[in-house]
Chain A
Amino acid sequence: MNPRFFVYLLLLLFVAIYGGINFKKLSLSFKLLSLLILFTLISESMSWSGVFPIKNSLILYHILLPTTMIMLWLIFSNESNNKRKSDYFITILFVFISISNSIWHQYDIFPSHGLALLCNLAVWLSLQTFKQMILLPSNVNVTKRPFFWLATFTLFFYCITFFSFTFYNFHLGIMWLLDLNFYSGFMLYLGYFVALFFDVNRNKYAYEN
């Protein structure tokens, strides 16, 4: 196994364990985030071990993308009590298109269209979260608010993913874009760990500035 992929799996495992240990202390959004991390860990581990009879891990991404879309929507929609209908419709539409794409269009190749939709949805949800935080500020310092870290790293990761897959060209050998995407994924899970940490300790930071 590639050593850096091994480190990546270790990081995922560490964050998943941290989420699992503190599961009861987490708010609903971050319980869902922990489940998403666990789900990602399992699928990444399976993609590495190649347990599928078809001898590749493409099917995982066809399942992972719509699942991630729904999970991200659930995670972000719990940020405030004001659930936006627009988020609901966009998520349902994107999930529907992504599943249709996996069944009828890109069924035997990497679901890049679904990934593009996921990137757009994640960016949209992150931006909505930032807006919500501006509209409903609290006495908690912004850097101690778990949703700040969640939205920031989600925004960075999915923007970079979209960018990487837009410019990636195997024939020209622009492999650094995939490296960039890999390291941004690494950063994403570090960011998720920070978000989980602040959510676990949210009562401690509630009255600190």
Chain B
Amino acid sequence: MKIEDIDFIIPIITGTFLVGILLVFIIYFVLLYRKKQEEYEWEKEQAKQLLLTTKIEIKEQTMSNISRELHDNIGQMATLVKMNLSLFNYETEDDKRKIDEATDITDKLIIEIKELSTTIKGENLERFGLLNMIDKDIARMSRLDYIKILRTGEEYIPEMDHETEIYLYRMTQEIFNNVLQHSGSTEAILNITNKDKVLTLTFKDNGKGFDSNTYKQGSGLINLEERCKLIDAKFNIESQPNQGTIITISLKINIYGKPN
């Protein structure tokens, strides 16, 4: 081989080698970047969940404080008003009628305060159980005469850990609030089933519905989805304008009622 040939061959070999190295480097970079990106996404999701959990804990604590205030302070004051009314010396029948009316209203107020205090306090779930608490909410909402809610399905569900019960309970409350505020429904059904180790809550209303593809643009439904993620529950929503809404939450639980 002549020297001139080598002078031609060396640049070709070196050039090929150089371009090869550059290509390998870029491919390696893209793969490494994707791996780092996945880690970044995972960390971001973890941070988001932690923030959400903290927010929920703070909210629970606040609700617990409000519940205590309602029960111990405002409830006591309402009882005091009732006692004072009973000590009132009336002179005419009209006065008596008015005082009886006021006493009745105060009685209702005391009951409402107690019920509200019970339902907003998460700790009461341990005392009454999830289904009973949901039933209390349904009864309280039915008294408002805006909507008739019927609960069907299981009369007993396995006891779950407190945190999961609180999440499920708060989610049903969120659904009830959404229905009351936005749906314009007159009737709704909450069906709770426990089949094949899957607890399913299906809520169906006859309200005005909405386009379920666009609900993400800001509503309490996003909270529901986020809470479901926290307890590994599946969340589904089906709705069309003027055709009501069906919300389904399903959660895998083991034989002891604990989430898997």
Contact = CB atoms under 8 A, between A and B. Distances in A.
A142 B14 contact: no
Interface in B11-61: 11, 14-15, 18-19, 22, 25-26, 29-30, 32-34, 36-37, 39-41, 44
A137 B7 contact: no
A155 B37 contact: no
Interface string A149-163: 000100110011001
**In terms of DSSP, what is the predominant structure of the interface of chain A?**
helix
B8 A142 contact: no
A130 B37 contact: no
Interface residues of A, number: 20
A160 B4 CA distance: 22
A160 B18 contact: yes
A162 to B, nearest CB: 9
Interface stretch (A41-49, A95-103, A167-175): A167-175
A137 B37 contact: yes
Given A130-B29, A142-B30, A155 B22 contact: yes
A138 interface: yes
Given A130-B29, A163-B18, A180-B15, A174 B7 contact: yes
Contacts, number: 49
A142 B7 contact: no
A174 B8 contact: yes
B10 interface: yes
B22 A134 contact: no
**In terms of DSSP, what is the predominant structure of the interface of chain B?**
helix
A134 B15 contact: no
Nearest to B44: A139
Interface residues of B, number: 23
Given A137-B36, A137-B40, A142-B33, A163 B4 contact: no
B81 to A, nearest CB: 56
A156 B22 contact: yes
B22 A167 contact: no
Given A130-B29, A137-B36, A142-B34, A174 B22 contact: no
A38 interface: no
A138 B40 contact: yes
A177 B41 contact: no
A118 B18 CA distance: 18
A155 B29 CA distance: 13
A186 B90 CA distance: 102
B7 A134 contact: no
Given A139-B40, A156-B22, 8 more contacts: A130-B29, A137-B40, A138-B37, A152-B26, A163-B15, A172-B4, A172-B8, A180-B15
Interface of A: 130, 133-134, 137-139, 142-143, 152, 155-156, 159-160, 163, 167, 169, 172, 174, 177, 180
8 contacts: A134-B29, A137-B40, A138-B37, A138-B40, A139-B40, A142-B34, A155-B22, A159-B18
Shortest 5 CB-CB distances between A and B: which pairs? Answer: A167-B11, A137-B36, A137-B40, A137-B37, A142-B33
